[in-house]
Structure 1
Amino acid sequence: MSVPEPTKLLIVDDLPENLRALDALIRDEQRTVYQASSGEEALSLMLEHEFALAILDVQMPGMDGFELAELMRATSRTRNIPIVFVSAAGRELNYAFKGYESGAVDFLHKPLDPDAVRSKVKVFVTLDQQRGEMRRQLQALERSRREQEVLVRELNETQAELQRSLRMRDEFMSLVAHELRTPLNTLFLETQMRSLQLKRGNLPAFNPEQMGTMIKRDERQIKSMIRLIDDMLDVSRMKSGTLSIRPAKVELMPLLERVVSDLSLAAAAAGCNVVLAPHAPVTGFWDEFRIEQVVVNLLTNALRYGVGGGPVEVSVHEDGCHVRIDVADHGKGIAPDYLERIFEPYERGAKSGEPKGLGLGLYISRQLATSHGGQLTVRSVPGEGATFSLLLPCTEAALKAVAPA
């Protein structure tokens, strides 16, 4: 518990000997006594300090005690200071009545009774200390109320985040089941068809050409499941800080040419083509597998959501010791309030029909860009397509600066 500050008292008298006598009478360790020899000096002190009591001499040259009291009652800062008048004039002048009319709480006649003065001062000091303690308690209650409001707000936010996490978990499990069920069903149906053909002895159905087609279909379905599982594993590694980056010298243009070629059939199925703008050779120090993973994610995303009658364009731009890979589409674009959300895990773009995938591609891609000391950003105008930009440092030193020890 904090120690209360000393109570401040003000005594006003034009005679120094009266001030010294009254000061000696009421001062103690828990009180600070201020002296003023005129009304003007007293008002100046009242503007600087908060007093528990003002003891005013009635008869003073210039501004007397009654005039000082009237000024005090007219000012909001001093209005509530208790006033005790002191006078050496006889009782027959009826000063006490005038003093009470001026707002005094008591009126003392000289010569002063020391015990009476000490007793009266003690009452006002006690009242001031009680008011101070009540004020401190109210302040403490107000602080506690504000802290509780903050805690309640944080609790509500935590609860909302927990509910969101639970929804995301349920949605994620549903997505995983859906995405794995499709290739598994295809494989299962293929297996049943082959078993049926074998039971019927229809060996021509397994000629080299038919067998090659079956194997390719099987490979596509298996790769689809492997990619889903790899994405989930990558997210888990990223969140646990165990994702490994294996940098080495990489030639960028052959990597991009290979990815564009591999996705040409998917682009044709989507009704467009992928165009790689020519560029001089670019060499960097990256994890080739991870950079290819990012580019594949960006192109797959563009083919899925950005097809709008024009090609998907891949271009390379050098800026000092950095290289930027742009993947631009001519689709419907992305709403401004959605530009950052698409990089969150399990967020999937909205379009007609059921979007495929777990909504992890862009999240993983941005994390991989960051792991290389780079950035993955997007700019888009609704109705005019979107451009994803992968910015990477080319030097080994830049990568080592962000790589875990």
Structure 2
Amino acid sequence: MLSNIKAKLLIVDDLPENLLALEALIKREDRIVYKALSADEALSLLLQHEFAMAILDVQMPGMNGFELAELMRGTEKTRNIPIVFVSAAGREMNYAFKGYESGAVDFLHKPLDIHAVKSKVNVFVDLYRQSKAMKEQVLALEQSRRDQETLLKQLQNTQLELEQAVRMRDDFMSIVAHEVRTPLNGLILETQLRKMHLARDNAAAFTLDKMHAMVDRDERQIKSLIRLIEDMLDVSRIRIGKLSIRPTRFDLSTLVRDVLHNFSQQIDAAEASVTLDAEQPVIGNWDEFRIEQVISNLLTNALRYGAKSPISVKVYSEGGQALVDVQDHGIGISEENQKRIFQQFERVSAKHAVAGLGLGLFISEQIVAAHGGTITVQSRIGEGALFRVCLPL
């Protein structure tokens, strides 16, 4: 590492021949020597570069070496540069003492001792390199510490995400088990009841009216199972980016009207009423099956959380978009819950836990987004909720 650090040396003398002689004496491949003929020129170089040491001639016209040293000691960037003074004046001038007072680390008299100069320069260059290498190591260690802290935070976040994923998986499996068990239990009970009637040769239990009722109950339970399975399959398709959209041209108003007709039994069971405002045709290119899925999910939620209140559905076009509003006047959704209800396996709250996997709004948002549209919610606790689907025509 030390061999890669090049040391910059500054020599200042008003005589060019002295600069050339000193440069030849101290120059090596691992060093860069900068020369200045005056203190002003030296100051300019000091502000541009980081020097391992400075060798200053004492006697120079204008600003002398001592004055330059005092300026260097008073400047943050240069105050720690080792200074070596050089002078041709005799020892009786007591320049060495004044030089040390000015902050010098050494004082050399001319004519220079070649070995002494080389030795002193080597010492200060080595000290500079070691200091530089140590600073780089400290910076590297500090960066390593910061990287480790970042990695630790990432690991902690990953651990929290994994724990949350495990909880979500466990909760999901519990919900799935419950939701699948409900229609299965109905089918099992129906089957056991029929076996009992058959064992007793009770033909009266299989009249045409009763058979119609049995088939209707079976069909509802089977459809419920199919819906659960389709929801889980849709989530898998969304995750791998294979949710298929097959647009055809159709009237959205007619579609919504048909969905409401098919929901008549669920509406009666929820003891609710639904009004539809769809006077004008709203024709566009969308996947009819998928849009029906979205409307069905929104209507199902309105019936679940509507608290038997009236539900209004409106279909209209505005600004080059088709819009469907589904509004209930039930329990409402808090601002906090509004941010998460479009996530997987999320439902309004445990307090109001009802049937379903918590996938309807997640799937609906993905379907609408695949059409280039949006689905939003406006709600307050106790004041119901308005879900709005916007689709480009």
Category of TM-score, reference length = shorter chain:
over 0.9
Compare 346-355 and 85-94 and name the one that shifted more: 346-355
Specify the alignment match of 2:343 in structure 1. Answer: 344
Contact 2:337 2:348 in 1 (8 A): no
Partner of 1:398: none
State how 1:375-390 maps to structure 2 within 5 Å.
375-390=374-389
Q: How does 1:354-373 map to 2 (within 5 A)?
A: 354-373=353-372
Per-residue CA deviation, residues 159-193 of structure 1 (Å, 9 max, x unaligned), is: 22222222111111111110111111122222222
Instruction: Describe the SS at the equivalent of 2:261.
Output: helix
CA contact (8 A) 2:270 2:308 kept: no
Q: Which runs of 5+ in 1 are unaligned?
A: 395-405
Taking the aligned partners of 1:349 and 1:182, their CA distance within structure 2 comes to: 21
Per the alignment, residue 312 of structure 1 pairs with 311
- Provide TM-score, normalisation by structure 1: 0.90
Q: Report the count of equivalent residues.
A: 393
Q: CA deviation at 1:200?
A: 2.9
Counterparts of 1:32-71 in structure 2, within 5 Å, are: 32-71=32-71
Counterpart-to-counterpart distance in 1, 2:118 and 2:3? 23
Q: Indicate the SS of the match to 2:78.
A: coil
Q: When the two structures are superposed, what TM-score results if normalisation uses the length of structure 2? A: 0.93
Tell me which residue corresponds to 1:294.
294
Letter in 1 for 2:141: L
Cα deviation, 1:199-237, whole Å, max 9, x if unaligned, reads 333322222222222222222111111111111111112
Give me the whole-angstrom Cα distance separating, in 2, the residues matched to 1:172 and 1:39. 79
Q: Could you say which residue in structure 1 is the equivalent of 2:135?
A: 135
> Pairwise mapping of residues 243-258 of structure 1 onto structure 2 (< 5 A)?
243-258=243-258
CA displacement 1:347-373 (0-9 Å, x = unmatched): 111163432110111111111112223
> Superposed, which structure 2 residues align to 1:7-156 within 5 Å?
7-156=7-156
The one-letter code sitting in structure 1 at the alignment partner of 2:294 is V
Report 1:186-205 matches (<5 A): 186-205=186-205
CA contact (8 A) 1:349 1:355 kept: no
In 2: Cα distance, 1:91 partner to 1:34 partner: 28
Contact 2:373/2:390, CA 8 A, preserved across alignment: yes
Show the counterpart of 1:272.
272
| Distance in 1 (alpha carbons) for counterparts of 2:279 and 2:304 | 26
Q: Residue type matched to 1:178 in 2?
A: H
**3-state SS of the aligned residue for 1:89?**
coil
Aligned CA distance change for structure 1 residues 162 and 213 (closer, same or farther; 3 Å):
same
SS of structure 2 residue aligned to 1:352? helix
Matched, 1:328 2:307: no
Partner SS state of residue 341, structure 1: coil
Q: Relative to structure 2, which stretch is displaced further, 252-261 or 38-47?
A: 38-47
How many angstroms apart in 2 are the aligned matches of 1:220 and 1:3?
82
More displaced stretch, 296-305 vs 349-358: 349-358
Find the counterpart in structure 2 of residue 402 from structure 1: none
Q: Judging changes above 3 Å, is the alpha-carbon distance between structure 1 residues 2 and 75 closer, same or farther for their aligned structure 2 residues? A: closer
Q: Is the 8 A contact 1:264 1:274 kept in 2?
A: no
SS at match of 1:162: helix
Residue 276 of structure 1, CA deviation = 1.1
| Structure 2: stretches of 5+ with no match in the other structure | none
Task: Judge conservation of contact 2:323–2:388 (CA < 8 Å) in 1.
Answer: yes
Name the SS for the 1:29 alignment partner. coil
Structure 2 equivalent of residue 397 of structure 1: none
Q: Quote the sequence identity (%).
A: 60
Contact 1:264 1:273 (8 Å CA) reproduced: no
2:252–2:315 CA contact under 8 A, matched in 1: no
Change in Cα spacing, 1:144 to 1:352, as seen in structure 2 (3 Å) is closer
